[in-house]
């Protein structure tokens, strides 16, 4: 049986997951499909969904099938990217690499095939879609910009940043004259949860290089100063930043499952769990 058909059958079972359907399933446990030599009945699928009611296992299984179909229809050479990511993971884990892989995935090979390769494929696939689209609109939608962020405990020191940049238009000059308690540089998007709504409102006012916005964090008695350093981002930077957004891939996969596979959940308990754990997969 083709994997796409298998996915459709599972989705049909989900569509029937109401209390009424439960009695029907229990009374007539017919084989829905056979996969890898195992017969799967409606009752087995339904009870599995109820047992694993967080929805995570369900989503992972459906995504795996969808990704396999995507790879068949849209093959992408990802071997170099897989090797690059694996090397980074090995560097991060060091001597614990083999133990970690064995403990959590059974083997390195299992991790590569079940986790890493699908992840890399999705990044490459949706990255290509982004590059073929209107990146200027994407940048605008996410209010994407490069910021320097400075932290001060005194309002006078925060205001000094505005004064200096109004005269010099130079980050080097600015930083030679201030002593912030903290500093970082970020590529900002309005989806970044590290920034509270008040900060996002201030950052939205930044339009030109060296524009300054100040956010008074009254709870912690500190002032955040945001300086727009670059509003001209490369295509690669835009794509890489979007792909790193927390829920970007989930949203795209949810849209794909619902549009191409008519995926929908009707069981109330499972649907509530998915709203909490995987909201992108619930209509």
**pLDDT by residue, tens only, the chain of 283 residues:** 333 333 333 333 333 333 333 333 444 557 766 766 777 777 776 666 556 555 666 777 788 888 888 989 999 999 999 999 999 999 989 999 999 999 988 999 999 998 899 989 999 999 999 999 999 998 999 999 999 999 999 999 999 999 999 998 999 999 999 999 999 999 999 988 889 999 999 999 999 999 999 999 999 999 999 999 987 889 999 999 998 876 788 888 888 888 887 878 787 777 887 787 778 888 7
Beta pairing partners, 41: 31
The 10s digit of each residue's pLDDT in 159-201 is: 999 999 999 899 999 999 999 999 999 999 998 888 999 999 9
The 10s digit of each residue's pLDDT in 115-147 is: 899 989 999 999 999 999 999 998 999 999 999
Looking at residue 55, what is its pLDDT?
A: 64
CA distances from 258 to 49, 55, 62, 163 (A): 18, 15, 11, 52
In this structure, the number of other CB atoms found within 10 A of the CB of residue 67 comes to 19
Task: Provide the token pair at 205.
Answer: 């006012």
Q: Could you tell me if 33 and 9 are in contact, meaning their C-beta atoms sit under 8 angstroms apart? A: yes
Angle at CA 125, nearest 5°, toward 124 and 127?
65
CA distance 33 to 41: 7
For the chain, the structural domain boundaries read: 3-75+249-281, 145-232
**130 Ramachandran zone, left/alpha/beta (phi>0; psi -120 to 50):** alpha
Task: Provide the token pair at 167.
Answer: 């005269």
Q: Could you tell me if 246 and 231 are in contact, meaning their C-beta atoms sit under 8 angstroms apart? A: no
> pTM for this one?
0.67
Question: If you classify domain 145-232 with CATH, what class do you get?
Answer: alpha beta
Radius of gyration for the chain, computed over Cα atoms and rounded to the nearest angstrom: 25
What is the number of helices (H) and of strands (E) in the chain?
15, 6
């Amino acid at each position: 049986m083709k994997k796409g058909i298998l996915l459709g059958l599972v989705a049909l079972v989900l569509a029937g997951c109401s209390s009424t359907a439960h009695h029907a399933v229990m009374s007539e446990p017919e084989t829905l499909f056979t996969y890898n030599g195992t017969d799967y009945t409606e009752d087995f699928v339904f009870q599995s969904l109820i047992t694993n009611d967080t929805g995570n296992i369900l989503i992972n299984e459906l995504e795996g099938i969808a990704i396999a179909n995507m790879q068949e229809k849209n093959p992408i050479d990802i071997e170099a990217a897989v090797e690059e990511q694996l090397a980074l993971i090995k560097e991060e884990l060091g001597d614990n690499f083999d133990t970690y892989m064995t403990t959590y995935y059974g083997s390195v090979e299992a991790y590569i095939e079940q986790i890493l390769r699908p992840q890399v494929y999705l990044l490459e696939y949706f990255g290509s879609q982004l590059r073929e689209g209107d990146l200027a609109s994407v940048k605008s939608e996410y209010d994407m910009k490069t910021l320097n962020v400075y932290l001060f405990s005194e309002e006078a020191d925060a205001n000094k940043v505005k004064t200096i940049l109004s005269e010099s238009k130079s980050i080097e000059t600015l930083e030679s004259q201030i002593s912030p308690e903290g500093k970082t540089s970020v590529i900002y998007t309005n989806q970044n949860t590290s920034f509270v709504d008040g900060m996002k409102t201030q950052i939205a006012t930044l339009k030109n290089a060296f524009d300054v916005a100040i956010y008074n964090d009254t709870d912690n008695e500190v002032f955040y100063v945001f300086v727009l350093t670059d509003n001209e981002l490369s295509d690669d930077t835009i794509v890489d930043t979007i792909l790193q957004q927390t829920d970007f891939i989930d949203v795209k996969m949810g849209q794909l499952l619902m549009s191409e596979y008519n995926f929908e959940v009707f069981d109330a308990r499972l649907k509530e769990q998915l709203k909490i754990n995987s909201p992108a997969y619930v209509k």
